[in-house]
Amino acid sequence: MILIKLGGSVITDKSRYRVFNRECTERLCQEIKKSGKKVVVIHGAGSFGHIIASKYFLNLGLKGKDQISAYARTCYDTRCLSLLVVKELNNAGLPAVSIPTGSCFIMKNGRLDVRDDSVLKGMFELGVIPVTFGDVTLDTEFGFAICSGDQLVEVLMDVFHPSKVIFVSDVDGIYYENPKLNPGTQLIETVNKSVLDAIKTDNSTMDVTGGIRKKVESMLRISGKGCDCILVNGAVKGRLLSVLNGEYVPCTIAKGQMK
Ligand code: ATP
Ligand code: IP8
């Protein structure tokens, strides 16, 4: 099976509150269907999460009562986004069910603690695609915390043991600098620990979960578990389908290596 994370930058417009990229999401779901591969889908929160979370510092945990309504608002918004994604998956012929992270799991010190994976596994075995997403969750130490979709991908590695992990974003891969701000920057086709410090991660949109550097760290931890982890541009038609089929496209790969 393959774990796919649909990034917030490709399924939403991260600069505009609650703007869903329906056409792009619809096409990505059709590409998944066309591949015929067994998948589990995780998605980011995009502008349904980061804008309010950043305004009310939800990434810092519980600091004041005024955050509680922002917590609830963010949970509402991320669930709305998830239903929009699940609708497109179902329309594409992929039976999918949204599993809200913050309603099913808890965090400890900012780390997701999935003790019971029976719903996720049970649905998958039944042929249903469980869809989880970046969300606000309770945290035993901080009151609440932000769980990124990237962290979920890492945790779900141990649940599903995928043959491949695909991060879908709105850029061709990891570059030395943000390609949207520095169009001349070079694509890094293979990432490893040695290039990590050379990657600049300045971002033009609000992101409370750390942006591209954290994503590369996550990709390296995933590849360290023996599985190829690929970042591909979902804004370009056919790229996700090609990667699902094991064909070459411009992308960044963290090659799977056993410890
Ligand atoms: P999310 O994590 O919210 O689900 P995502 O998975 O799509 O979204 P982002 O965290 O938004 O990923 O990261 C992708 C964005 O990072 C791109 O839109 C790009 O502008 C920006 N970026 C900044 N620095 C770099 C870099 N060095 N290489 C590639 N992209 C970069
Ligand atoms: O978009 C962030 O998840 P991500 C979740 O996967 C929130 O980084 C609520 C901002």
Identify the pLDDT of residue 204: 63
Ligand 1 atom closest to residue 173's alpha carbon, by position in its atom list: 29
3-state secondary structure of 59: helix
**209 burial level (CB within 10 Å; 0-12, 13-18, 19+):** buried
Ligand 2 atom closest to residue 149's alpha carbon, by position in its atom list: 6
Whether ligand 1 lies within 6 angstroms of the CB of 217 is answered as no
Ligand 2 atom closest to residue 45's alpha carbon, by position in its atom list: 1
Ranges of residues in the chain with a pLDDT under 50 are none
- Per the CB < 8 A criterion, the answer to whether 109 and 101 are in contact is no
Identify the pLDDT of residue 203: 67
**End-to-end distance of the chain based on CA atoms, in angstroms?**
22
- Per the CB < 8 A criterion, the answer to whether 3 and 166 are in contact is yes
Q: What's the length of the chain?
A: 259
**CA angle, 171 as apex, 149 and 111 as ends, to 5°?**
20
Q: Closest-lying ligand to the alpha carbon of 146?
A: 2
Identify the pLDDT of residue 212: 86
Identify the pLDDT of residue 72: 98
Query: Could you tell me the distance, in angstroms and rounded to a whole number, from the CA of residue 43 to the centre of ligand 2?
Result: 9
* pTM, full prediction: 0.96
- Per the CB < 8 A criterion, the answer to whether 42 and 133 are in contact is yes
Identify the pLDDT of residue 103: 96
The helix (H) or strand (E) run that includes residue 132 is strand 129-133
